[in-house]
Structure 1
Amino acid sequence: MTDTIPQKWHPLSRGLHWLIAILFLCAWASVELHEGYDKEDPMRSWWMVLHFSIGLSVLVFVIARIYFRAIYPRPELYGGRWQRKLSQLVESLFYVIMLAMPITGMAMRQFAGKETTVFWLFEIPTLVEENSDIAKQLAFFHKELIWNAFLVLLVLHIAGALWHHFGKRDGTLRHMLPWGKS
């Protein structure tokens, strides 16, 4: 690791950013698509297996992103002091949410007494005693609190990126895009 602040994001950081964004979109889509099927239809459970598998993948890639972030620091933040502080707060909360979402989802299934199939390759067995009250609490956190907090942060994140790109014209968005010059 170097002591100087880099001028742009490391390609690995950019790649993990977009991979995690795509995985969150796929996790959301899979849980929404499963609602279109009757409870007896095997496709309903197929979409849920995909949802759980993607969620576990999100957890793995977010941990990797946190690790590589320690090795490859972010470029210097643009904007005034309050903008930099807000950016750091939103980013920190994003990491908390990206970890909390799959962890609460997995814990919810555990306390519901359900094994979790991962990409149809293996099962994660139930490791705790079934407790439907805890499972319901975790479901509320997972589906309502954390998901809605994620959406608020996403709007702030996108609004900030667009403000920098179109309002300030300072290159912030170009630094994170996977294509083009930064």
Structure 2
Amino acid sequence: MGSASNSWSPVLKGLHWIIAICILCAWGSVELHEFYERGDPMRGWWMMLHFSVGFTVLLLAMVRLYYRATHGRPTLYGSGFQKPVSLLVQSLMYIIMLGMPLTGLLMRQFAGRDTTLFWLFELPAFLSENKDLAKQLAYLHKDFLWNSLLVLLVLHIGGALWHHLFIKDNTLRQMLPFGKTK
């Protein structure tokens, strides 16, 4: 593992912001599909985008975890409870970045549905159909993990703003793509 520095590497910064944009796109696409009636091709188009972007989040999160494990992270700012809380929030966000796409794919598998990704290839349903398990996974995906992610995002963004506005350290600056640390 690489040594700690005072800033995130450009690769990890890029992955951070690309994943953030992908999560926004996944959320937006699943919300936009609701504007269309069942059977409307646009409803399916938005859901295909949702599946594809979610799959992208899964792949990018795995790359990000690997890169972070092999290249280290900058020194954490904060005192007392702040560092463990920061690490806990970040760890839970990684779990959700992996868990949401996996539960979404498994939900479709157990519902007996194929999943088209990127309009290029089809991931066939290869697991035995189990509608009850699909419903449980749907609850986990749509309600538990999504609401957990929202809470964690508030803590994550709130913590970054707290450090930037009140403590006035480099926590936020070191992750901004255009930011310079003091």
Q: Does 1:141 align with 2:140?
A: yes
Task: Give the alignment's TM-score, normalised by structure 2.
Answer: 0.97
Task: Report SS of the residue matched to 1:76.
Answer: coil
Structure 2 CA distance, aligned partners of 1:22 and 1:72?
23
**Which amino acid in 2 is paired with 1:176?**
M
Q: Which residue of 1 aligns with 2:179?
A: 180
**Count of residues in Structure 1 that have an aligned counterpart in Structure 2:** 181
Structure 2 CA distance for aligned equivalents of residues 49 and 179 of structure 1: 33
1:10-159 pair list within 5 angstroms:
10-159=9-158
Cα distance, 1:81 vs. partner? Answer: 2.5
Provide the aligned C-alpha RMSD in A.
0.8
Aligned to 1:163: 162
Higher deviation after alignment, 72-81 or 138-147: 72-81
Quick one: which amino acid aligns to residue 59 of structure 1?
L
Unaligned runs of 5+ in 1: none
In the alignment, the residues of structure 1 paired with residue 179 and residue 95 of structure 2 have an alpha-carbon distance, to the nearest angstrom, of 30
Give the Cα separation in 2 of the matches to 1:178 and 1:144.
Answer: 32
Task: Supply the AA of the counterpart residue of 1:8.
Answer: S
Runs of 4+ in 1 over 2 A off after TM superposition: none
TM-score by length of structure 1 reads 0.97
Alignment partners' CA distance in 1, 2:71 and 2:81: 24
2:5 aligns with 6
Q: Percent identity?
A: 59
Instruction: Specify the code of the residue in structure 2 equivalent to 1:69.
Output: R
Residues of 2 paired with 1:33 and 1:143: CA distance? 15
